Amino acid sequence: MLGIEPFDKYPYKYDRWFIKNKFTYQSELLALKAQIPHNRHSIEIGVGSGRFARPLDIKLGVEPSIKMQMLSKKRKIDLVNSVAEKLPFKSSVFELVLIVTTICFVDNIELSFKETFRVLKKDGFLIVGFIDRNSSIGKLYEQSKQSNVFYKFANFYSVNEVIILLEDAGFKDFIFSQTLFQPLNTIKKIEPYRKGYGKGSFVVIKAKK
């Protein structure tokens, strides 16, 4: 699990990113919130420091990094120490699963999506938020991977690649939204979200079981 190492080594560097890039973060939150159904029995996989779960009112998270767990607990998130590829839950338990900026760090994305499908109830939803590899920010992240302590071992995906992987896992009825239409260093206010994908760097896919 090479993707976990930098989060255990630099937990506060990771968490400070959300403060330094507050408008980027708030834009992502806005796009996610628009897709999330209310009052669902939910969980976030790869909950990290709880920066998304907390404001989205998700109280349970899966996280393999011990240092990230410590930060997430401070935000009142109940933690399960595990990985996306092996979720320690019975089948058909949750009504909503959230995965944000995590798919690039998992060891096996195919198995992660299949496990997510398994733990969701019938007609439950998966919400995936990620940086599109083909977008301007995605290309920047790809180019700077070797100099970035977090993205060095990351595997970025295009929207079309994620769609195929979700379909292979059994998901259907996709709804798309997008935000972050400017270069990362020029985002000085909260950006609106729009339907679809192909223009914004941050894409949200809502998929149904």
For 141-185, how does the pLDDT look when each residue is reduced to its tens digit (9 = 90+)?
Answer: 999 888 899 988 899 999 999 999 999 999 999 999 999 999 999
| Whether pLDDT at 39 is above 80 | no
pLDDT, the chain, mean:
95
What average pLDDT does range 199-204 have in this prediction? Answer: 98
Nearest to 156 by CA among 111, 200, 106, 119: 106
- Residue 23 CA to residue 141 CA, distance in Å, equals 18
Quick one: pLDDT at residue 152? 87
Token digits for 194?
């729009």
Looking at residue 5, its pLDDT comes to 87
Domain edges within the chain? 2-208
pLDDT at 63 over 80: yes
Whats the size of the chain, residue-wise?
A: 209
In 3D, which of 76, 74, 78 has the Cα closest to residue 63?
A: 78
The pLDDT score that the predictor gives to residue 4 is: 84
**Token pair recorded at residue 1:** 């699990």
What's the CATH code, domain 2-208? 3.40.50.150
Tell me the per-residue pLDDT of 92-141, one tens digit each, with 9 for 90 and over.
Answer: 999 999 999 999 999 999 999 999 999 999 999 999 999 999 999 999 99
Q: Greater confidence, 200 or 148?
A: 200
Comparing 62 with 40, the larger pLDDT belongs to: 62
Residue 77 has pLDDT above 80, yes or no: yes
Phi, psi of 14 (to 5 degrees): -60, -50
d(CA 64, CA 53): 16
Q: Minimal CA–CA distance to 126: which of 40, 7, 6?
A: 40
Q: If DSSP codes are grouped into helix, strand and coil, which group holds residue 119?
A: helix
Q: Which two tokens stand for residue 80?
A: 């399960």
Whether the pLDDT of residue 1 is over 60: the answer is no
Average pLDDT value for residue range 17-34? 97
The confidence score (pLDDT) of residue 206 equals: 98
pTM: 0.96
The H helix count followed by the E strand count for the chain is 7, 8
Question: 83: which strand partners?
Answer: 86
DSSP track, 50-74: STTTTTTT--EEE---HHHHHHHHH
Q: Where do the DSSP E strands lie in 42-146?
A: 42-45, 60-62, 78-80, 94-100, 120-131
Pairing of strands 202-208, 120-131: antiparallel
pLDDT(51) > 80? yes
Inform me whether the pLDDT recorded for 68 exceeds 60. yes
Give yes or no for a contact between 1 and 154, defined as CB atoms under 8 angstroms apart: no
User: C-alpha angle with apex 148: 72 to 181, nearest 5 degrees?
Assistant: 80
Report angle CA 201, 206, 208 to the nearest 5 degrees.
155
